[in-house]
């Protein structure tokens, strides 16, 4: 586990963007695993800026997102489809057919899980971008999720719904279920970059780096990954 401590969110995003753009330039058909939430927005802004200024091409890039709420259609402004379109995809030259996000509005959610899992099996993710929840979740894999989990349906932890309610008008609008890559899927990525900023992540980062490897802290399994970089700002790493 390589740990890079930086001053703040801006530096965290700069370094993450440097890793991603370097990889894409070296390997134009990179398969990226992508995350939503506040954490990667700075990274995505930098990728767009670099695309505009340096013409880094996404033409042959494939992307797989970690998760999606169940019950929100793609055009709902709270869906992760919408988030990704707004914060990244509409601003780069990615081919729409190379974008994969679980469909939380599928009629048969179990079938959707099986099919998304199949797609992941057929595509090795070269670089997975991850955020972390204040309870140590990765994707929507809440504490207690099996390390051997694959794509599955999750009932969201109340803390997670509360944390995510900042994006909604009120908490009862936050969906109760989501579909997420499992921990096993995440661990199959060739390389992982975990990003964390802010003091609300300090306990989760401490537990991830120094605590026991336990299903009670989903991110703790990342310590066993052979190629993981953790980029943390001063507040997130204040207990480390």
Shortest distance, position 138 Cβ to ligand PGA, whole Å: 7
Taken in order 108, 98, 21, 30, the sign of the CA dihedral is positive
Within 127-240, where are the H helices? 158-164, 183-187, 202-210
Shortest distance, position 84 Cβ to ligand PGA, whole Å: 14
Single out the segment in contact with ligand PGA by CB under 6 A; choices: 14-22, 103-111, 118-126, 129-137: 129-137
Within the chain, where are the H helices? 9-26, 41-54, 80-87, 109-121, 158-164, 183-187, 202-210
Cα–Cα distances (Å) from 78 to 17, 124, 174, 213, 235, in that order, read 25, 28, 9, 33, 28
Question: Residue 62: which of 89, 91, 26 has the closest Cα?
Answer: 89
Single out the segment in contact with ligand PGA by CB under 6 A; choices: 34-42, 75-83, 86-94, 217-225: 34-42
Q: Report d(CA 72, CA 168) in Å as an integer.
A: 12
Active site residue 135: yes
Shortest distance, position 29 Cβ to ligand PGA, whole Å: 27
Active site residue 59: no
Active site residue 158: no
Question: Residue 150: which of 122, 114, 178 has the closest Cα?
Answer: 114
**Closer residue to ligand PGA in complex, CB, 56/204:** 204
Applying CB under 6 A, which of residues 42, 131, 136, 218 lies at the interface with ligand PGA?
A: 131
Q: Is 20 helix (H, G, I), strand (E, B) or coil?
A: helix
**Closer residue to ligand PGA in complex, CB, 37/182:** 37
Active site residue 11: no
39 binds ligand PGA (CB under 6 A): yes
Shortest distance, position 69 Cβ to ligand PGA, whole Å: 13
38 binds ligand PGA (CB under 6 A): yes
132 binds ligand PGA (CB under 6 A): yes
**Contact positions vs ligand PGA (CB under 6 A):** 37-39, 131-133, 137
List the catalytic residues. 67, 135, 137, 142
């Amino acid at each position: 586990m390589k740990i890079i401590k930086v001053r703040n969110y801006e530096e965290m995003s700069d370094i993450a963007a440097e890793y991603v753009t370097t990889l894409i330039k070296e390997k134009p058909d990179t398969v990226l695993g992508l995350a939503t939430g506040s954490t990667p927005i700075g990274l995505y802004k930098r990728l767009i800026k670099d695309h505009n200024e340096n013409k880094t091409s996404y033409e042959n890039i494939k992307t797989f997102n970690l998760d999606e709420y169940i019950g929100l259609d793609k055009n709902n402004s709270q869906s992760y489809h919408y988030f990704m379109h707004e914060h990244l995809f509409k601003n780069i030259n990615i081919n729409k057919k190379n974008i994969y996000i679980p469909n939380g509005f599928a009629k048969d959610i179990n079938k959707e899980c099986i099919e998304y899992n199949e797609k992941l099996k057929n595509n090795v993710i070269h670089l997975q971008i991850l955020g972390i929840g204040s309870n140590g979740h990765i994707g929507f894999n809440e504490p207690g999720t099996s390390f051997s989990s694959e794509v599955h349906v999750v009932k969201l932890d109340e803390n997670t719904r509360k944390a995510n309610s900042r994006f909604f008008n009120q908490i009862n609008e936050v969906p109760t279920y989501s579909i997420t890559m499992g921990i096993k899927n995440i661990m199959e990525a060739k390389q992982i970059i975990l990003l964390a900023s802010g003091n609300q992540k300090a306990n989760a980062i401490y537990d991830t780096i120094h605590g026991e490897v336990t299903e009670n802290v989903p991110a703790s399994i990342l310590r066993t990954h052979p190629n993981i970089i953790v980029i943390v700002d001063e507040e997130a790493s204040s207990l480390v």
